[in-house]
Amino acid sequence: MDQFPGSPTPDPDGLAVRRAVKLAIRASPRSREQICQELSARIGRQVTVRMLDDFTAPSKGGARFPAAWVAAFCEATGDRRLQRLLVDPEIDAALKVIEFARETVRRSKPRAERS
């Protein structure tokens, strides 16, 4: 299968997505239960901890993380790595430059102005 220039590497087993979901859950200050509650509220469908666990388990090949849930999941976890995984590498690189610039500006402001 031919790829478009700059498109992500094919991941037929979904391992990169599973890993991104797993790492986002680990990095989140929220528990799995809290993430499920927030995700459920955002998508209007019940999401259980077991479902979330299945999305991260390589042995659960039939359980695929729905693309329609990506934005809500990232909001629920406070982690954008899943969205970043799914964007074109050139866009991802541009986003990293923007984030670096924002952080540089934030650090250069006097403490009283940071908020």
pLDDT of 66 > 70? The answer is yes
CA distance between the termini of the chain: 48
Q: Residue 2 has what pLDDT?
A: 46
pLDDT of 32 > 90? The answer is yes
* 31 within a domain of the structure (yes/no): yes
Lowest mean pLDDT among 13-17, 75-79, 92-96: 92-96
* 104 within a domain of the structure (yes/no): no
* 30 within a domain of the structure (yes/no): yes
- What distance in Å separates the CA atoms of residue 101 and residue 98, rounded to the nearest whole number? 5
pLDDT level of residue 23 (50, 70, 90 thresholds): very high
pLDDT level of residue 87 (50, 70, 90 thresholds): confident
Q: Residue 18 has what pLDDT?
A: 94
Q: Residue 1 has what pLDDT?
A: 43
Number of domains in the chain: 1
**C-beta separation of 29 from 90 below 8 A:** no
The pLDDT > 90 percentage for the chain reads 55
* 48 within a domain of the structure (yes/no): yes
* 70 within a domain of the structure (yes/no): yes
Residue range of the domain that includes 25: 15-84
**C-beta separation of 72 from 39 below 8 A:** yes
